[in-house]
Chains A and B, each alone.
Chain A
């Protein structure tokens, strides 16, 4: 694999993650528990889609074969998506959505900071723009989890159930393959081992403030690096890709 091919795959991984999570969060639009949260989640969803859009545009530029940024989210197949399994998991109740945010946004918080030093200046610039957004997103979900954990018996139980259910999807964030190896050598990519301990410590700190227990199970789900997904991604894609599949090239 040459650097260009590796770079495209690497960027698509980040873009897909933000695209699918943004789409999941959009599902809350109009269904938020209170008006203010409805607005907050839609803001966050648009931040994620904004980063995804910037990255897809960059991929189109690197590939330079006439495709535009819309090709990547709307016309690729399920097996070509390399978003983490975590972000395609259903919204569930609000505790599930907030815990999913915590597990993802804590990663993005450290990952994007590390990407600021990337030798690829476009990636570094996109990371610089997003880091402020993610800092707020991480604060938003952490405050909710702390309140759920210290709230009523039911809110505590729901938060702990969400943590137990989603924990097995966190390991995948730190998987590296030949793409990472190649781009780390060129100082484009981040060695994920360098942020792993900080990540788990941060998550454990939030859970401890919330009086929640960090799961002890070591088993971690895997697959997304190879495009192997849970059953949920297909449904998301059939939603978001419907228009382009039904009316190819359609615009509005």
Chain B
């Protein structure tokens, strides 16, 4: 939401990777004037307690999101389609993060 009265810097969404190999997870947002400053702010705000090994910042305006009204048509139809779940396979021991 940007209006003429908005004196804030752009909003950035922050994604933290907790360990190498793990996916980056969204952890929050912050304001910053540019990407480098957004990275520094993210480091200071979201990784103070050993949460991360890598950071992504994305300016919020670049994220396209589905709207709350889409919840029915987007997501409900998948509820009845059990055949989409690969529950018939046995996972080998040692496979992680699935």
Contact = CB atoms under 8 A, between A and B. Distances in A.
A1 interface: no
A143 interface: yes
Interface string B22-49: 0000000011111011001101110010
Nearest to B42: A36
A89 B79 CA distance: 65
Contacts of A136: 43
A43 B44 contact: yes
Contacts of A39: 44-45, 48
A136 B44 CA distance: 10
A232 interface: no
A246 interface: no
Nearest to B34: A147
Interface residues of A, number: 12
A36 B33 contact: no
Contacts of B44: 36, 39-40, 43
A117 interface: no
Interface string B1-24: 000000001000000000000000
Contacts of A143: 36-37, 40
A9 interface: no
A34 interface: yes
B40 A40 contact: yes
B9 to A, nearest CB: 8
A36 B36 contact: no
Interface residues of B, number: 14
Interface in A136-167: 136, 139-140, 143, 147
Nearest to B36: A143
Contacts of B40: 40, 139-140, 143
A37 B31 CA distance: 10
Interface in A78-127: none
Contacts of A35: 30, 45
Given A140-B40, A143-B36, A143-B40, A36 B30 contact: yes
Interface of B: 9, 30-34, 36-37, 40-41, 43-45, 48
Given A35-B30, A143-B37, 19 more contacts: A34-B9, A34-B31, A35-B45, A36-B30, A36-B32, A36-B44, A36-B45, A37-B41, A39-B44, A39-B48, A40-B40, A40-B44, A43-B44, A43-B48, A136-B43, A140-B40, A143-B40, A147-B34, A147-B37
27 contacts: A34-B9, A34-B31, A35-B30, A35-B45, A36-B30, A36-B31, A36-B32, A36-B41, A36-B44, A36-B45, A37-B41, A39-B44, A39-B45, A39-B48, A40-B40, A40-B41, A40-B44, A43-B44, A43-B48, A139-B40, A140-B40, A143-B36, A143-B37, A143-B40, A147-B33, A147-B34, A147-B37
Interface of A: 34-37, 39-40, 43, 136, 139-140, 143, 147
